[in-house]
C-alpha cells in the first residue's frame, strides 16, 4: 500500500472549546495533522513530550499557574520549534514577554484560519532556514522528459527544506512533510525537478543539483544526467536500467561505474 506524505503536526494549546473545534477542523481541512489539544500548561507538557510536534499554536491567556508564554518557555527547554501565539490583545508588555520565546507570529482573535495556515508555513520556513541558511537561487537545469507519475502537485514557490529525516516541500500556503525514506527518485524536467514518491510527485522550480544539495541524503545515487534514485527503493536492475516501484529509469553510460560501486559491485558486466 502506498504511503502518503507525512503531514505537519500541530499542537494546539487553547482553553476555549469553541475556538479549539474551529481551529482543529480548519487546520485538518488544510492538510495539517493535530498532534494534540491541551487546555493548560500541564497538559501541553505531556502532549509535547509524548507526541511528534512540528509547530505549536498557543493562546497566550491560558488558565492556571502558567500562561501561554510561560508554558512555551518551559517547552522550549526540551526542544525548540516554531510557536504561533493567539491572543485577544497584544499590548507592549505582552509582546515584550512573548519575545523571550522568539515566536513566529502573534495573531489577534478573532482570526481567519487562512492567516493561521500562512503563519504556520512561514514559521516552518523561517525556522528551518535559520538552521540551514544556504539560499536557494533561481534554477537553470536541463534534462529530458521525466517519467510519468500520478497526481502532480506543482509547488508555487521555490522552496524545499530539510530537517532531520524529512524534507518540507511548499505547496500553496503550507509545507508538505515527506520522509526521506519515502522518496523513490528525483528527476529533472527542463527548469523543474520532480520529487517522486509512490503514485505522487512534487514539483519544484530548482535545478537537480540544488535539490540534491538541499536534501543531502546518502541513499540517493545519480543514474543518469537527469535522475537520482533512492537505492533503498530499487526492486531490480540490469546493465541498462533500474526499476524503482513501477518506474523504469535508464542508467547512463557515464554513471554506470558509480552506480554499481554504490551497490557494492566493483565492476559490471
**Residue 4 clears pLDDT 80, i.e. is over it:** no
Least confident of 1-5, 219-223, 255-259: 1-5
Tell me what the pLDDT averaged over the chain comes to: 82
Residue 157 DSSP code: S
**Residue 39 clears pLDDT 50, i.e. is over it:** yes
In tens, the pLDDT along 222-265 reads: 999 999 999 999 999 888 999 998 899 999 988 888 888 878 77
Distance between CA atoms of 222 and 133, rounded to whole angstroms? 25
Ramachandran bin of 221, using left for φ above 0, alpha for ψ from -120 to 50, beta for the remaining angles: beta
Task: Judge contact between 215 and 221, C-beta under 8 A.
Answer: no
Distance between CA atoms of 145 and 79, rounded to whole angstroms? 43
Distance between CA atoms of 227 and 194, rounded to whole angstroms? 9
Quickly state the pLDDT bin for 266 (edges 50, 70, 90): low
Ramachandran bin of 99, using left for φ above 0, alpha for ψ from -120 to 50, beta for the remaining angles: alpha
Hey, what domains does the chain have and what are their CATH numbers? 9-131 (3.40.50.2300), 152-262 (2.40.50.1020)
CA 242 to chain centre: 28
Quickly state the pLDDT bin for 177 (edges 50, 70, 90): confident
Amino acid at each position: 500500500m502506498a504511503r502518503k506524505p507525512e503531514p505537519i503536526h500541530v499542537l494546539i494549546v487553547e482553553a476555549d472549546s469553541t475556538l479549539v473545534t474551529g481551529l482543529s477542523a480548519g487546520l485538518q481541512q488544510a492538510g495539517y495533522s493535530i498532534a494534540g489539544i491541551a487546555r493548560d500548561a500541564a497538559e501541553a507538557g505531556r502532549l509535547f513530550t509524548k507526541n511528534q510536534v512540528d509547530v505549536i499554536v498557543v493562546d497566550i491567556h491560558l488558565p492556571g499557574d502558567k500562561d501561554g508564554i510561560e508554558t512555551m518557555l518551559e517547552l522550549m527547554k526540551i526542544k525548540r520549534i516554531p510557536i504561533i501565539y493567539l491572543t485577544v490583545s497584544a499590548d507592549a508588555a505582552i509582546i515584550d514577554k512573548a519575545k523571550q520565546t522568539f515566536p513566529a507570529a502573534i495573531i489577534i482573535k478573532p482570526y481567519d484560519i487562512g492567516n493561521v495556515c500562512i503563519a504556520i508555513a512561514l514559521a516552518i520556513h523561517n525556522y528551518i532556514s535559520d538552521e540551514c541558511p544556504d539560499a536557494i537561487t533561481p534554477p537553470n537545469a536541463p534534462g529530458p522528459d521525466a517519467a510519468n507519475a500520478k497526481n502532480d502537485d506543482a509547488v508555487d514557490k521555490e522552496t524545499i527544506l530539510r530537517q532531520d529525516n524529512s524534507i518540507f516541500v511548499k505547496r500553496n500556503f503550507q509545507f508538505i512533510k515527506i520522509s526521506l525514506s519515502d522518496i523513490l527518485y528525483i528527476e529533472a524536467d527542463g527548469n523543474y525537478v520532480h520529487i517522486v514518491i509512490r503514485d505522487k510527485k512534487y514539483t519544484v522550480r530548482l535545478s537537480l543539483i540544488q535539490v540534491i544539495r538541499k536534501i543531502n541524503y546518502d541513499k540517493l545515487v545519480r543514474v543518469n544526467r537527469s535522475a537520482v534514485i533512492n537505492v533503498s527503493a530499487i526492486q531490480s536492475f540490469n546493465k541498462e536500467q533500474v526499476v524503482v516501484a513501477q518506474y523504469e529509469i535508464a542508467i547512463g553510460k557515464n554513471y554506470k561505474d558509480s552506480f554499481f560501486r554504490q551497490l557494492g559491485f566493483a565492476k559490471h558486466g
